[in-house]
Structure 1
Amino acid sequence: MATKEKKDTMDTGPAWRAWGRALLGGAVMAAALGTGNALGEALVRALDMTGYPAQLLPAALVSALAVPVVLALRAGRPGSGRPLGLGTPAAAAHGFARGLAVTTACAALVLGGGTAAGWVRWSGPDPAALVSFLAGNALVAVLLEALPEETTLRGYAWASLRDRFGGALSALGTTLVFLLVPAASTVVQAGVAHAVGVPAPPMGLAPAGQDPVAYLVLLSVFGLTLIAARTAPGRAPLWAAIGTHVAFLSVNRVVFEGGRRDAGWSAHVSTVHAAILELGYLAATAAVFAGARLLTSRGRAPASGPRVRAAAAWLLPVLPSGPRATASGGRRVQPSAATTYSVGVWAGTGARLVPPVRVLSRASAPPPGTVSRARPAAGTRRSPGTRRSPGTRRG
């Protein structure tokens, strides 16, 4: 039974199929982002909407176009019982708060250091305006960027690669797909905007006015940080990435764009120092999540002796058959599917499944040099040549 469950969670298909699914997740996000923004702009104009509702409508369209599609694509795939790491509502709230708290704390630490170094000069805060901005921005950020991007990329694309490859390749592949989404979305938005008669932003690798190289570097570090949040221990891991995403957008929009967005607080930072601070608190956030995962894995890891024995047992199925590869009675000693799967993941080489065979447990075999005390069956007689060992008594 355990072997069947592990086989169900292992994708043994060709590598191109996993990459195709990952790119499909990115394509869904790019199509939803471009279409939602263009159609949202057309609806806003048709309904004569202004202010916050005009921001909320396109954001809601993006999530409505992206999330149901990838949930339907993932249905029937391994792990669809709790799709893509979204978890239960209670676990989702806990995961979101975890991502929000870790990222905000790291940002406060790094920005505080920058302030002490004289890199950051703050304006006078307006608490009421700041709270109002953060609440409104959080909902738009969740619907427009965090929820659809994490579901399609760190959800569907990452899971598609992780079903087939190890964690490092899956993280790099998902981040690569993440880098392709903004440029692809501008192409989609230009086409849809032309069809519905609304203006569209220029197509390109980076938003207008930003250096493409610096933007791609920041996006790469951000993507790897989101992977660290997605794979950190805890329930509803995808919501931890969503919380991290929202915290990053909120911090940047207050600190670096607060004056333009009327956020109630802002800072004056040079371009060079802003890049260092952004990358610095993202790196600190990724380090916290990666450290939590490392500590959890060490806490669950067995002692060095059992680990070595498990690693040796993992190699048994590939050793040549012969007298040294057999146990008593001529039966091959092979590890269970659960053991090989766990060791394969621990070693970073993926799952290693073996056919269901009878496993000879060390605990079930008598220690070497001991004398069996089993009584002979009724009606049998002791061999004349058999003698008791010295020091033993009858009865």
Structure 2
Amino acid sequence: MKNWFVLLLGAWATATIGIFLAVIAGDISEEQFRITGDGRQIIQATVMSVIIIPIILFLYRRLHKLTGKPNKPAYSFKRSHHFFTGFFLATVLAVISLFTASMIGWIDINQWHAPQYWISALLINMLIAFFYEALPEELALRGFVYDVLKHRFAVWLSIFAQSLVFVFFAFGHHILQVIVGMEPIEIILLSIPSYVLFFVFGIALALIREWTGSLWAAVGFHLGYLVMARFLIMPEEYGAPPIVSYQDTFMYLVGALFMITGIMLGGILLFLLFLLIKRLLRSR
């Protein structure tokens, strides 16, 4: 009991401190060396991955001493082809949500922009987001934390529990920022909607990992969501060149909220269906 709790706490602390130090590194690079934009994000991504990935892999070795190492761990490169499964499904759900919002009259699509307008920025952002958010967060949370929980609890309880850890990861980061004076304490209350999204997103990410048996599927789905959010759903908020220009016709941001919900809840329903089919096929 004590060992698994220490491992769980260690993974959460590693991820939380990792992103906190990455943000500090970004602030220092901008304030002291005037490194902004992609340069700052590359520094943050480097710090995040350098801190989290080796520590989590070390914790995995400790976990495997307690439980035995599986023949093919979820993070094995032999399962890495599922990265494309996750990325593809996130992209498809985003596009379906976009056209659905247009068909029901909540948005008007004005213009699709040529790839040369946004492709280079998208590829650079993908690379940064992979090492800053998708890979380290998934390795720590849908990887190690989920594996520790599954060793102690049933699958469905583990899915909900790891999503709560995901929320506390964001909450812990904000607490550290408040403690050092980087953010006002009001950031906690203002972030409550984000915490809800973190919880729902965490469920979807755990389900795709459970369905495919591969952590790389969660990494791909996470990265696909980030790319769609920044270049398709809310490009203005992220300062990114848009893939498509659209206007809300029903209420401000209703289109963006609908598409985000479509990716997350649509993913949950889709992965639950795939899991059901998988279990039915196994039972035959």
What band does the TM-score fall into relative to the shorter chain? 0.7 to 0.9
Once the 2 structures are TM-superposed, how far is the Cα of residue 47 of structure 1 from its aligned partner?
A: 4.0
Instruction: Name the CA shift for 1:108/1:214 in 2 (closer, same or farther; >3 Å).
Output: same
Once the 2 structures are TM-superposed, how far is the Cα of residue 177 of structure 1 from its aligned partner?
A: 0.7
TM-score by length of structure 2 reads 0.86
Q: Of the candidates 68, 72, 87, which is equivalent to residue 54 of structure 2?
A: 68
Q: Distance in 2 between matches of 1:166 and 1:214?
A: 28
Counterpart of 2:218, as a letter, is A
CA deviations on 1:265-296 (whole Å, 9 max, x unpaired) are: 34334234432332233111122222222222
Instruction: Name the CA shift for 1:36/1:130 in 2 (closer, same or farther; >3 Å).
Output: same
Equivalent positions of 1:295-310 (< 5 A) are 295-302=277-284
The answer to whether structure 1 residue 37 and structure 2 residue 23 are counterparts is yes
Please say if residues 62 and 144 of structure 1, whose CA atoms lie closer than 8 Å, have aligned partners that are also in contact: yes
Give the CA RMSD over aligned residues. Answer: 2.5
CA deviations on 1:189-240 (whole Å, 9 max, x unpaired) are: 466xx6xxxx83445665xxx9434222222111100111111125xx1110
Instruction: Name the CA shift for 1:225/1:174 in 2 (closer, same or farther; >3 Å).
Output: same
Aligned to 2:264: 282
CA deviations on 1:48-76 (whole Å, 9 max, x unpaired) are: 43332221111111111111111101104
Counterpart of 1:116, as a letter, is M
CA deviations on 1:320-379 (whole Å, 9 max, x unpaired) are: xxxxxxxxxxxxxxxxxxxxxxxxxxxxxxxxxxxxxxxxxxxxxxxxxxxxxxxxxxxx
Once the 2 structures are TM-superposed, how far is the Cα of residue 24 of structure 1 from its aligned partner?
A: 2.6
The answer to whether structure 1 residue 172 and structure 2 residue 160 are counterparts is yes
Aligned to 1:258: 235
Q: Distance in 1 between matches of 2:253 and 2:76?
A: 39
Please say if residues 225 and 263 of structure 2, whose CA atoms lie closer than 8 Å, have aligned partners that are also in contact: no
Choose between structure 1 and 2: higher helix proportion: 2
Aligned to 1:160: 148
Q: Which moved more, 1:272-281 or 1:29-38?
A: 272-281
Equivalent positions of 1:97-246 (< 5 A) are 97-124=84-111, 125-189=113-177, 200-203=182-185, 211-233=190-212, 237-246=214-223
Once the 2 structures are TM-superposed, how far is the Cα of residue 100 of structure 1 from its aligned partner?
A: 0.4
Once the 2 structures are TM-superposed, how far is the Cα of residue 118 of structure 1 from its aligned partner?
A: 1.6
**Structure of larger gyration radius:** 1
Q: Distance in 1 between matches of 2:42 and 2:58?
A: 25
Q: Of the candidates 67, 86, 91, which is equivalent to residue 75 of structure 2?
A: 86
Instruction: Name the CA shift for 1:280/1:50 in 2 (closer, same or farther; >3 Å).
Output: closer
Please say if residues 59 and 140 of structure 1, whose CA atoms lie closer than 8 Å, have aligned partners that are also in contact: yes
Once the 2 structures are TM-superposed, how far is the Cα of residue 114 of structure 1 from its aligned partner?
A: 0.6
> Could you list the runs of 5+ residues in structure 1 that have no partner in the other structure?
1-13, 303-395
TM-score by length of structure 1 reads 0.64
Q: Distance in 1 between matches of 2:59 and 2:46?
A: 20
Q: Distance in 1 between matches of 2:95 and 2:144?
A: 31
Instruction: Name the CA shift for 1:189/1:296 in 2 (closer, same or farther; >3 Å).
Output: same
Please say if residues 127 and 264 of structure 1, whose CA atoms lie closer than 8 Å, have aligned partners that are also in contact: no
> Could you list the runs of 5+ residues in structure 2 that have no partner in the other structure?
none
Instruction: Name the CA shift for 1:222/1:140 in 2 (closer, same or farther; >3 Å).
Output: same
Aligned with 1:75: secondary structure?
A: helix
Q: Distance in 2 between matches of 1:71 and 1:214?
A: 32
Instruction: Name the CA shift for 1:252/1:267 in 2 (closer, same or farther; >3 Å).
Output: farther
**Which 4+ residue blocks in structure 1 deviate beyond 6 angstroms?**
none
Aligned to 1:325: none
Instruction: Name the CA shift for 1:24/1:82 in 2 (closer, same or farther; >3 Å).
Output: farther
Once the 2 structures are TM-superposed, how far is the Cα of residue 186 of structure 1 from its aligned partner?
A: 2.8
Q: Distance in 1 between matches of 2:175 and 2:71?
A: 33
Q: Distance in 2 between matches of 1:56 and 1:83?
A: 31
Once the 2 structures are TM-superposed, how far is the Cα of residue 113 of structure 1 from its aligned partner?
A: 0.7
Counterpart of 2:267, as a letter, is T
The alignment-based identity, stated in percent, is 25
Equivalent positions of 1:231-380 (< 5 A) are 231-233=210-212, 237-260=214-237, 261-265=239-243, 266-269=245-248, 270-302=252-284
Instruction: Name the CA shift for 1:205/1:49 in 2 (closer, same or farther; >3 Å).
Output: closer
Instruction: Name the CA shift for 1:154/1:204 in 2 (closer, same or farther; >3 Å).
Output: farther
